[in-house]
Structure 1
């Protein structure tokens, strides 16, 4: 199995997920709830993350996600909705609520 590392800041928590896994798999992969997944469909904004390293490692952002992030005021940075991301290679993210 091809595992990829996701580092979650500011906790310094590192998890390994199979390549291509949705980040919502974190709820099953760790006992800590570090990303507050709400609806898991990109409609609530609870899971906004800032990508510190590996933006391209999380798959492409579709226009609906970009529009929703703009509505939330999360523009001009490397923000994503964690529920819309798939881990393709190593990445480091910060939970936006922890900023």
Structure 2
């Protein structure tokens, strides 16, 4: 099965996930809690990430995710809810800093 690389900054941690895997699979792939997943359903905002490279590799953002990010004030930059993303190609992200 093809795998894609997700790079987590600022540490440069590289993790391979199967093509199309949800980012929530990170919890099974590493002993480090690299992204703080909360509800895993796009309702809590704990897993907001900033996409540094490869935003096209995380799937399309639906209207609910876009609206929730707007409610969180995450309209500038390339922010996503990690729990709503599926890795289809290489990407580089970092956990968004709290505002």
**TM-score band, normalised by the shorter chain?**
over 0.9
Structure 1 residue runs of 4 or more that deviate by more than 4 Å after TM superposition: none
TM-score normalised by structure 1 residue count: 0.97
What count of residue pairs does the alignment treat as equivalent? 99
Give 5+ residue unaligned stretches, structure 1. Answer: none
The 1:12/1:42 distance shift into structure 2, 3 A limit, reads same
Kindly report the root-mean-square deviation, in angstroms, between the aligned alpha carbons of the 2 structures: 1.3
Q: What TM-score, normalized by structure 2, do the two folds share?
A: 0.97
User: Are 1:86 and 2:51 counterparts?
Assistant: no
1:5-60 deviation digits (Å, cap 9, x = unpaired) = 00001121000000000000000001100100000000000000000000010000
CA–CA distance in structure 1, aligned partners of residues 39 and 8 of structure 2: 20
Report the counterpart of residue 11 of structure 1 in structure 2. 11
* Structure 2 portions without partners, runs of 5+: none
Query: 1: distance between equivalents of 2:22 and 2:84?
Result: 7
Distance 1:5 1:98 in 2: 26
2-side partners of 1:94 and 1:48: how far apart? 9
Q: Secondary structure at the match of 2:97?
A: helix
The change in CA–CA distance for 1:98 and 1:76 in structure 2 (over 3 A counts) is closer
